Structure 1
Amino acid sequence: MYSVLLTIHSLVRWLVLISLLVAICRAYKGWLGNEKYTRTDDAIRSATVNISHLQMVLGIVLYCISPVVRYFMSYFKRAVHEREIRFFGMEHITMMLIAIVLITIGSAKAKRQTTDRQRFRIMAIWFTIALVIIFASVPWHFSPFTRRPYFRWF
């Protein structure tokens, strides 16, 4: 079960990144171009939040069953000094939860705005900050914290 969830989590990360990039591009285009906020923009905002929440649920389940996290919790004093173990036991989950909170708040704030320009502006700012945090906290193949493949298969 762990390896299946890990593979799904790895693949859904690409959906999160793609949806965030699309939402951010549309938000900046709408904000700077003073465009009308359409049903498509709202659907992209909503889909981005939903995909991010799905990824969060998968991540929390993985966190609860991960042998790496189990080791981190059992041998905290030693594990906190091991970069890869600390990354998955503490840093990755903390930063990703912060990013999901930012996406959720940004979405909710954008939804409540009275003008289209304000909606786009709020989305652009909050989603961009979340994307930077996510990008820094994903275990990319080139990451200085820990390395994982771009695509993990079953």
Structure 2
Amino acid sequence: MQKGLLDLHNLIRWIILILLVINILKNYMDIKKPFAKIHKKLGLWLMICAHTTLLVGLILLGFQWVNLPSNINVMTNPAYRFIFVEHPVGMIIAIILITIGKGSAKKNISDIKKHKRSANLYLIALIIIMASIPWNAPMIPGM
């Protein structure tokens, strides 16, 4: 079960990265166009994938926490610190930014501001995600 959840978490990572790039480019390219239904749907799919991978990641974190030896100090071990602190905190911050970026579509502001705010928040989230991904993990699920 844990292997399947890890593969799902890994697969959704790629979907999120692709959706982030699409959302960023779409919002920057359409900055002078009305904030259309496609922008809202792309943002919604991004947010759904981000929240899904957050839930799967928290479940995986719980499994790892239960199996953690009791004499380990998480903060002094760089590998454990990354798994239990840096990765989850970075991803939670990125998902908060994605959610705020999606929420910009509902604000009563100009379409230009909606595009800029969404694109900028998605770009910051992308940078945080890229910094928080464990790049030593398999790139393709199941490998």
User: TM-score, with normalisation over the residues of structure 2?
Assistant: 0.91
CA contact (8 A) 2:94 2:128 kept: yes
For structure 2, list consecutive stretches of 5 or more residues without a partner in the other structure: none
CA contact (8 A) 1:11 1:152 kept: yes
Q: 1:123 aligns with which of 95, 118, 127?
A: 118
The offset of 1:44, in angstroms, is 0.5
Identity %: 31
The offset of 1:110, in angstroms, is 3.3
Query: What whole-Å deviation, never above 9, does each CA across 1:7-29 have from its counterpart, x for those lacking one?
Result: 11001100111111110111111
Query: What whole-Å deviation, never above 9, does each CA across 1:109-130 have from its counterpart, x for those lacking one?
Result: 3321432111101111111111
Q: Give the match's secondary structure for 2:134.
A: coil
CA contact (8 A) 1:2 1:66 kept: no
Aligned position for 1:151: 140
Aligned position for 2:50: 52
CA contact (8 A) 1:80 1:86 kept: yes
The offset of 1:76, in angstroms, is 4.4
What is the count of residue pairs matched by the alignment? 143
The offset of 1:85, in angstroms, is 1.5
Aligned position for 1:6: 6
What is the one-letter code of the residue matched to 1:149? P
Q: 1:88 aligns with which of 83, 89, 103?
A: 83
Q: 1:3, 1:22 → 2: CA distance?
A: 29
Structure 1 residues 70 and 86, CA gap change in structure 2 (3 angstroms): farther
Structure 1 residues 81 and 139, CA gap change in structure 2 (3 angstroms): same
What is the one-letter code of the residue matched to 1:111? K
Aligned position for 1:144: none
CA contact (8 A) 2:44 2:102 kept: yes
Q: 1:6, 1:41 → 2: CA distance?
A: 30
RMSD: 1.7
Higher relative contact order (CA 8 A, sep 6+): 2
